[in-house]
Amino acid sequence: MSNLGISYYFPFPRVKLIGQVFFDRTDSVMIRIEPDLRFDPLCCRCRNKALGIHSHDHHRVVRDLNLGATTTWLDVGYRKVVCAVCAAVRVEDLSFCDASRRITPRLARYIYELCKVMTVEEVARHLNLDPKTVKAVDYAGLRKEFGDSDYSELRILAVDEIALKKGHRYMTVVLDYRTGRVVWMGEGRDLNALDEFFRGLTVEQKAGIEAVAMDMWEPYLNRVRHHCPKAKLVFDFFHVVKAFGQVIDEVRRDEYRKATEAHKKILQGSRYLLLKNLDHLTDPQRDRLEELRSLNETINRVYLLKDQLKTLYWYTNREYAERALETWCAMADRIDHPAVQKFAGRLRFFREGILNHCDCPIDTGKLEGVNNKIKLIKRRAFGFHDPDYFVLKVKQAFPGRPAPKG
């Protein structure tokens, strides 16, 4: 025996379906729903049984999940009730229909899931909804799931910044290194940014942080040392090499200005030859690099220093790493260029953060990958004008995995 009724598609409690109207022109259907008088009405605020009925024949039209390709609307009849607990007149409770929204909760859940893989504009076009409605639904779901930062079980952190837009606007990103979860994001990259993060941690949680991977950005160093004095600061390999790459480029420009016209042609456009790893160069690029190095002794020496700098992170023995670091700085001191000597002095000043890598071999490589995906999220949405919404979307994209044991 078959039953072709539509009630199975609308399993809503305490109400009954009384009719439907189909509109061919718009390919939509209106389902009429009324309260089931066999049940006593409940207050929408406290969900207690109402003292009595205040008024009947109120209606609200709400959007529901599509039936196939057909847009579905619900014409919901409801009553206003007298609630003794609230001591007020309230709308009766309808579990399938939020009194403050024009869409059903199940449609809201569907929108929220779609927004994980589609932009707000795409979801709005797909469901023929206002983009503001879609964003509001997604924002509400994000706040419910990710609105409160979870600071539990933090032991190893990675801290870095991401550029929001041109004009030196940044956000600080804090990652749980063990799980890959974005714990916190805040505007700026100054002292106040990390102060805001640490303000959410208890004294015990701060004491539980064992190590923090970061670059040699002094505001970050200052606040981590202040809030977590026992945590090991580990300077990331990528940022150290990148910083020396800027020194190489400064040396190259100075050498170009001093070169003869013939030598300038060889130096011109050689920036990325000097910064790229040798195994990433093509054969013609390698030949040109060798010509450049043989032409200019200063450039050749800083290029050798670049490769030597990478070996500092190969060591697992702190004593050997310290000797290698001092040897590198001594070699840099012999190059007559202020940028090289300044960098060597900076490495000596921050030696502890480099040597800590021997004891705690971590870096911000994971966070760099996260930052690249954050940029993709930003590009897909053509930028976010609402920073809070942007932060929640990033947290959703990086919920983390279970922390390894031990």
The tens digit of pLDDT for each residue in 65-115 reads 999 889 999 999 988 999 989 999 998 888 888 767 889 999 999 999 999
Q: Which residues of 225-256 are buried (b: 16+ CB within 10 A; e: fewer)?
A: eebbeebbbbbbbbbbbebbbebbbbbbeebb
pLDDT band at 371 (very low <50, low <70, confident <90, very high): confident
- Predicted structure pTM score: 0.80
pLDDT greater than 80 at residue 192: yes
pLDDT band at 169 (very low <50, low <70, confident <90, very high): confident
Q: What percent of the chain has pLDDT over 90?
A: 47
Beta bridge partners of 49: 42
**234-261 average pLDDT score:** 88
pLDDT of residue 322: 94
CA gyration radius, the chain: 31
Helix (H) or strand (E) holding 175: strand 169-176
Q: Which two tokens stand for residue 47?
A: 């969900």
Residue among 207, 210, 183, 209 at smallest CA distance from 197: 183
**193-200 average pLDDT score:** 92
pLDDT band at 273 (very low <50, low <70, confident <90, very high): confident
Spell out the domain ranges in the chain. 1-102, 104-146, 156-236+363-397, 237-359
Rounded Cα distance, 197 and 199, in Å: 5
**9-35 average pLDDT score:** 91
Q: What angle do CA 83, 141, 135 make, to 5 degrees?
A: 105
**289-307 average pLDDT score:** 88
pLDDT greater than 80 at residue 152: yes
pLDDT of residue 212: 94
pLDDT, tens digit (0-9, with 9 covering 90-100), for 386-403:
888 889 999 999 998 876
What is the identity of the amino acid at 46?
A: C
Q: Which two tokens stand for residue 131?
A: 């983009």
pLDDT of residue 261: 80
Residue whose token pair is 């379906």:
17
pLDDT band at 205 (very low <50, low <70, confident <90, very high): very high
Number of Cβ within a 10 Å radius of residue 116: 12
What is the identity of the amino acid at 223?
A: R
Q: What is the mean pLDDT of the chain?
A: 88
Strand-pair category, 70-83 with 169-176: unpaired
pLDDT greater than 70 at residue 166: no
Fold for the domain defined by 156-236+363-397: Nucleotidyltransferase; domain 5 (3.30.420)
**Residue count (the chain):** 406
Question: Which range among 81-90, 91-100, 182-191, 351-360 shows the weakest confidence by mean pLDDT?
Answer: 91-100
163 vs 173, 186, 213, CA distance in Å? Answer: 11, 12, 19
